[in-house]
């Protein structure tokens, strides 16, 4: 391998990228645009969940109960309803996510300590909001019953509730559990994956146009050619590695507690691994549409769903947990979250860095080998 | 005119068959992957690594640990010897949560006025598992707390079973996770397939230099557009029916409403996405550009499908933006028909919004593409 050859290929590739101004702008800006879209879309506080009440009892106790349930900001009493049909209709339209049905004997049964004739209805199509509403209603209903019990049994004078256990919850690194604080670092792997798609496409592009043979006729070696193709996109990626955390910190107040040089280094390793994946696709596939479809299926879709950003890997079936290890994004998501939030160092993150490096070397080797066979 | 359009459609299908990798990947690869992702992610959150520091070592503290294990949400790591171990494991991201049971836990429970404490540490660096962990822990302590109180009052817990509100879950009685993750994943796959096909329609011909040939032939620009559109919509509909059938068989996703209505609305939705794809296709000078634009737009749309976070909880201004995203309305329609069995009388606001969006995007797209072609 000669540095001179490598440099020539890199210069050619950079010329390609820059001359095609629109593509250049897109390659540079897609990751940053993604960051903005996600940051705004993930600014979520689960509150103002609309609920309806169907009060058949209409007693002072039931009114106090409803008051108690909806006193916070999270559940909004949308409306009082008169019939179950109306409640069903609202659920159907998605205008409410949960409903309380208070049976006629509510006050009577509660005051005589027989029980609490209450039905909670939740919309099972949206568990994020439905499950949350269920938890909140359940907890407040228990507290309400506890106070009633205390009053009835004459234990006044001491705060008695059905929740004597004092649960002291402390959430580290992201105290309010805001999704965007951990999602944005996690999704950086998706943003940096864009250059990989570009590598797959440029290689396929050369084959489609037959320009690869021209380059192959020069004394440039195959490994040099492939590396030369990847390095410009690593550079583009590294610029994004600097820009994305800065925007995340300054504009969206995502904490960055770790070491930036370490983040930079490990991001470079990730770029190497993911771009090698793109390279393999480009080596195997000869037309751009096919390369594009395959990079969507191999890099994009699994990178989104199977790398533990949304769904924890621990809860996946065994085979998928192994499969996740082959995706560089899995390791990189652990690294980005670790560096951004707890601010851990290389002593913790080195296994993931090594895994990504191994994957990158493996992918590159496969790419170069097959490249040789196909053109040799 | 129809004959000429027909010949254009035939030409497109010949292209698809000659370069069969792309349709094969997109259709069959896409369906395989949808099944794989659905299988891996449409399940409750379980096996979260949890650490316990039991400073009490009593029957009561062991009951807490057993109850936590029985939720199925957690996998218990070895007992932690001290706080440093827990802190370290949290830093390393090895555990999602830790429970610390203080030394006097048992005594506090036994005493009639005691207030037993449990300290919980959550790893906020992964908010979704942390939220699931918190919910499970709250559920366990609520049950325990209830029993403690009743015992203190000298009452038997069995008599108070009636104090638990009865629960009804609508549209998803078994609380199957598949029913809400699969539609979003299917929607994303469908959107990308159609957008990619549509976005390549002109950008590819232009890059290969065949667009000029097409333009000098005796076709009007409208005929060319229609000829390009028909295969995209046909492929999209075929893809949708195939995916729907597969998820129905594999994950039991029901079709409770009218299948005919769903297919008609799917057709409408595909036309809207087709309009978007056509604009991308004309804006882009190369397939590379078209691909990047599709990825960006598709991923942005995905944020509004309710997969990552509920749209209703987003800031008001973002919710207005969501209304401009066809995929948002389509997902509402699809969930409505599949899960709720809703009909037009319920879905009309979304259908109307989709129609208006389609009209605007379609008109713009048609004018823009025609101008670009002429």
Specify the higher pLDDT residue, A121 or B17: A121
- Here the tokens at position B194 are 């159609």
List CB contacts (< 8 A) between A35 and chain B: none
| Shortest alpha-carbon distance between residue A46 and chain B (Å) | 5
Domain spans of chain B, in order of start: 2-42+176-373, 48-163
Q: Who among A285, A287, A306 is closest to B37 (CB)?
A: A306
Residue recorded with tokens 């296994």:
A351
Could you tell me if B123 and A172 are in contact, meaning their C-beta atoms sit under 8 angstroms apart? yes
Query: Residue A100: CB partners within 8 Å, gap ≥ 6?
Result: A51, A52, A53, A54, A55, A66, A69, A118, A119, A120, A121, A137
Cα–Cα distance measured from residue B11 to residue B225, given in angstroms and rounded to the nearest whole number: 13
Measured between beta carbons, which residues in chain B are less than 8 angstroms from residue A149?
A: 149, 153
Residue B73 near residue B45 (C-beta atoms within 8 A): yes
* Residue A210 pLDDT level (bands cut at 50, 70, 90): confident
8 Å CB contact of B292 and A137: no
pLDDT for A91 equals 87
- What ipTM score was computed for the predicted complex, to two decimals? 0.87
Q: Tell me which range, A157-166, A347-356, B301-310, is most confidently predicted by mean pLDDT.
A: A347-356
Instruction: Kindly state the DSSP code that residue A177 receives in the 8-state scheme.
Output: -
Cβ-defined contact of A287 to B303 (cutoff 8 Å): no
Which chain B residues touch A143 with a CB distance below 8 Å?
A: none
The per-residue b/e assignment along A221-258, b for 16 or more CB within 10 angstroms, e otherwise, is bbbbbbbbbbbbbbbbbbebbeebbebbeeebebebeb
Q: What residues form DSSP beta bridges with B119? A: A168, B100
SS3 B51: strand
Residue of B nearest to A288 (CA): B287
Q: Are B37 and A305 in contact (CB under 8 A)?
A: yes
Q: Nearest to residue B1, comparing CAs of B271, B278, B233, B218? A: B218
- Quickly state the pLDDT bin for B314 (edges 50, 70, 90): confident
* Chain B nearest-CA residue for A35: B300
- The tokens describing B76, both together, are 């218990």
Strand A166-172 versus strand B74-76 pairing type: unpaired
Could you give the C-alpha distances from A296 to A293, A333, A376, B30, B290, in angstroms and in order? Answer: 5, 19, 28, 9, 13
For residue B222, is pLDDT > 90?
no
The pLDDT of residue B353 is: 95
Q: Considering only alpha carbons, which residue of chain B is nearest residue A175?
A: B124
pLDDT category at A161 given cuts 50, 70, 90 is low
Please give the average per-residue pLDDT across B292-316, as a whole number: 84
Mean pLDDT score across all residues of chain B: 88
Q: How confident is the model at residue A156 (pLDDT cuts 50, 70, 90)?
A: very low
Output the six-digit token pair for A348. 């913790």
- What are the structure tokens assigned to A78, written together? 């949308």
Query: What's the whole-number average pLDDT of chain A?
Result: 86
- In chain A, where are the structural domains located? 3-42+178-375, 49-153
Q: What percent of chain A has pLDDT over 70?
A: 95
Residue B47 and residue A315: Cβ atoms within 8 Å?
A: yes
Kindly indicate the confidence band of residue A157, based on its pLDDT and cuts at 50, 70 and 90.
very low
Phi–psi pair at A98, nearest 5 degrees: -155, 160
Q: How far apart are CA B340 and CA A92, in angstroms?
A: 6
Pairing mode of beta strands B117-123, A166-172: parallel
Cα–Cα distance between B285 and B199 in angstroms, integer? 11
Say which residue, A91 or A373, is predicted with more confidence.
A91
C-alpha span between B351 and B353 (Å, rounded): 5
**What average pLDDT does this structure show over A24-52?**
83
**Three-class secondary structure of residue A220 per DSSP:** coil
The arithmetic mean of pLDDT across residues B8-28, rounded, is 83
Q: Which of residues 231-270 of B touch A (CB under 8 A)?
A: none
Residue A375 has pLDDT above 70, yes or no: no
Residue B149 touches partner A, C-beta closer than 8 Å: yes
Q: Is B178 on the interface with A (CB under 8 A)?
A: no
As a whole number of angstroms, the distance between CA B93 and CA A341 comes to: 10
Residue contact B127–A317, C-beta within 8 A: no
Which is more confident, A93 or A260?
Answer: A260
Q: Say how many Å lie between the first and final Cα of chain A, rounded.
A: 17
pLDDT digits (tens, 9 = 90+) for B112-122: 778 899 999 99
Domain B48-163 has CATH 3.40.1710.10: yes
Instruction: Considering only residues A217 and A281, tell me which one the structure prediction assigns the higher pLDDT.
Output: A281
Inter-chain CB proximity A315 and B135 less than 8 Å:
no
How does pLDDT run across A176-189, given as a tens digit for each residue?
A: 888 888 889 998 99
pTM, 2 dp: 0.88
A144 pLDDT above the threshold of 90? no
Extract the tokens encoding B324. 């401009």
The CATH number of the domain covering residues in A49-153? 3.40.1710.10
Instruction: Quote the tokens at residue B234.
Output: 């046909």
- Which residue reads 């009561």 in tokens? B60
What tokens appear for A301 in the block?
């879709």
Cα pseudo-dihedral A43, A48, A52, A55, rounded to 10: 150
Between CA B169 and CA B172 the distance in angstroms is 6
Written as six digits, the tokens of A108 are: 């009577």
Interface of A with B in 90-119 (CB under 8 A): 91-94, 97, 109, 114-119
Higher-confidence position of B25 and B264: B264
> Could you give the CA distance from residue B296 to residue A307 in angstroms, rounded to a whole number?
19
Mean local confidence (pLDDT), B64-84: 90
pLDDT at B52 over 90: yes
Report the pLDDT value the prediction gives residue A260, as an integer from 0 to 100.
94
The whole-angstrom separation of Cα A301 and Cα B41 is 13
The answer to whether residues A222 and A371 touch, using CB atoms and an 8 Å cutoff, is yes
Mean pLDDT of A338-347: 92
The pLDDT tens digits for B252-278 are 899 999 999 999 999 999 999 999 999
**Beta-carbon separation of B21 and A316 below 8 A:** no
HEC-encoded secondary structure of B126-180: CHHHHHHHHHHHHHHHHHHHHHHHHHHCCCCHHHHHHHCCEEEEECCCCCCCHHH
Q: Among A23-27, A276-280, B158-162, B369-373, where is mean pLDDT lowest? A: B158-162
Q: What is the pLDDT of residues B133-176, one digit of tens each?
A: 998 998 898 888 888 877 877 777 666 666 777 788 888 877 77
Q: What is the pLDDT of residues A90-101, one digit of tens each?
A: 888 888 889 999
Contact A172 B121 (CB under 8 A): yes
Closest listed residue to residue B176, CA positions, set B294, B46, B304, B42: B42
Sheet containing A49-55: order of strands: A75-81, A49-55, A98-102, A118-123, B166-170
CB pairs under 8 A between A and B: 362
């Amino acid at each position: 391998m000669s540095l001179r050859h490598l440099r020539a290929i890199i210069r050619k590739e950079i010329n390609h990228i820059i001359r095609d101004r629109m593509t250049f702008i897109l390659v540079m800006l897609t990751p940053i645009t993604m960051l903005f879209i996600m940051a705004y879309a993930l600014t979520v506080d689960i509150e103002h969940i609309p609920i309806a009440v169907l009060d058949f009892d209409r007693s002072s106790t039931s009114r106090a109960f409803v008051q108690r349930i909806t006193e916070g900001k999270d559940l909004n009493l949308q409306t009082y309803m008169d019939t179950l049909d109306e409640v069903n209709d609202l659920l159907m339209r998605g205008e409410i996510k949960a409903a309380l049905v208070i049976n006629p004997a509510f006050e009577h049964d509660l005051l005589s300590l027989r029980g609490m004739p209450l039905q909670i209805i939740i919309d099972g199509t949206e568990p994020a909001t439905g499950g949350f509403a269920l938890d909140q209603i359940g907890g407040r209903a228990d507290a309400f019953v506890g106070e009633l019990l205390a009053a009835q049994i004459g234990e006044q004078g001491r705060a008695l509730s059905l929740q004597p256990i004092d649960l002291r919850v402390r959430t580290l690194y992201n105290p309010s559990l805001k999704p965007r604080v951990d999602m944005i670092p996690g999704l950086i792997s998706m943003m940096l994956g864009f250059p990989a798609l570009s590598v797959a496409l440029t290689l396929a592009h050369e084959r489609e146009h037959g320009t690869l043979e021209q380059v192959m006729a020069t004394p440039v070696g195959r490994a040099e050619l492939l590396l030369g193709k990847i390095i410009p996109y690593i550079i583009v990626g590294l610029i994004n590695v600097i820009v994305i955390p800065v925007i995340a910190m300054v504009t969206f107040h995502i904490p960055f507690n770790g070491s930036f040089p370490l983040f930079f280094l490990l991001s470079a390793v990730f770029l190497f691994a993911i771009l090698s994946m793109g390279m393999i696709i480009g080596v195997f596939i000869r037309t751009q549409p096919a390369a594009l479809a395959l990079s969507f299926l191999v890099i994009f879709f699994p990178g989104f769903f199977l790398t533990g950003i949304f769904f924890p890997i621990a809860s996946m079936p065994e085979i998928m947990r192994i499969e996740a290890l082959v995706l560089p994004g899995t390791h990189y998501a652990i690294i980005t979250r670790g560096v951004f939030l707890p601010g851990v160092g290389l002593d913790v993150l080195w296994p993931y860095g090594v895994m990504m490096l191994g994957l990158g070397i493996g992918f590159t080797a496969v790419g170069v080998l097959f490249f040789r066979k196909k053109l040799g | 005119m129809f004959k000429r359009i027909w010949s254009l459609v035939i030409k497109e299908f010949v292209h698809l068959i000659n370069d069969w990798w792309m349709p094969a990947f997109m259709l069959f690869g896409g369906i395989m992957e949808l099944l794989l992702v659905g299988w891996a992610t449409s399940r409750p959150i379980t096996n979260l690594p949890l650490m316990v520091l039991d400073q009490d070592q009593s029957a009561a503290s062991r009951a807490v640990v057993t109850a936590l294990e029985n939720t199925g949400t957690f996998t218990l790591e070895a007992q932690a010897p001290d706080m440093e171990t827990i802190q370290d494991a949290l830093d390393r991201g090895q555990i999602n949560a830790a429970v610390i049971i203080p030394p006097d836990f048992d005594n506090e429970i036994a005493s009639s006025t005691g207030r037993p404490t449990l300290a919980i540490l959550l790893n906020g660096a992964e908010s979704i598992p942390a939220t699931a962990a918190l919910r499970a822990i709250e559920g366990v302590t609520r049950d325990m707390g209830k029993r403690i109180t009743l015992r203190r009052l000298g009452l038997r817990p069995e008599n108070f079973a009636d104090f638990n509100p009865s629960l009804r879950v609508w549209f998803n009685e078994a609380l199957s996770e598949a029913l809400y993750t699969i539609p979003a994943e299917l929607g994303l796959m469908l959107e990308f397939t159609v957008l990619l096909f549509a976005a390549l329609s002109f950008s590819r011909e232009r890059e290969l230099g065949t667009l000029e040939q097409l333009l000098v032939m005796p076709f009007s620009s409208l005929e060319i557009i229609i000829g390009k559109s028909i295969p995209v919509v046909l492929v999209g509909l075929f893809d949708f029916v195939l995916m729907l059938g597969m998820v129905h068989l594999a994950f039991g996703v029901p079709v409770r409403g009218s299948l005919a209505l769903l297919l008609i609305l799917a057709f409408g939705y595909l036309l809207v996405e087709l309009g978007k794809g056509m604009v991308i296709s004309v804006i882009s000078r190369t397939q590379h550009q078209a691909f990047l634009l599709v990825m960006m737009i598709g991923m942005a749309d995905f944020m509004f499908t309710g997969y990552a976070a509920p749209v209703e909880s987003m800031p008001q201004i973002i919710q207005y933006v969501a209304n401009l995203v066809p995929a948002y309305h389509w997902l509402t329609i699809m969930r409505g028909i599949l899960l709720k069995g809703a009909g037009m009388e319920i879905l009309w606001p979304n259908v109307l919004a989709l129609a208006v969006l389609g009209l605007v995007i379609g008109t713009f797209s048609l004018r823009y593409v025609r101008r670009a072609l002429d």
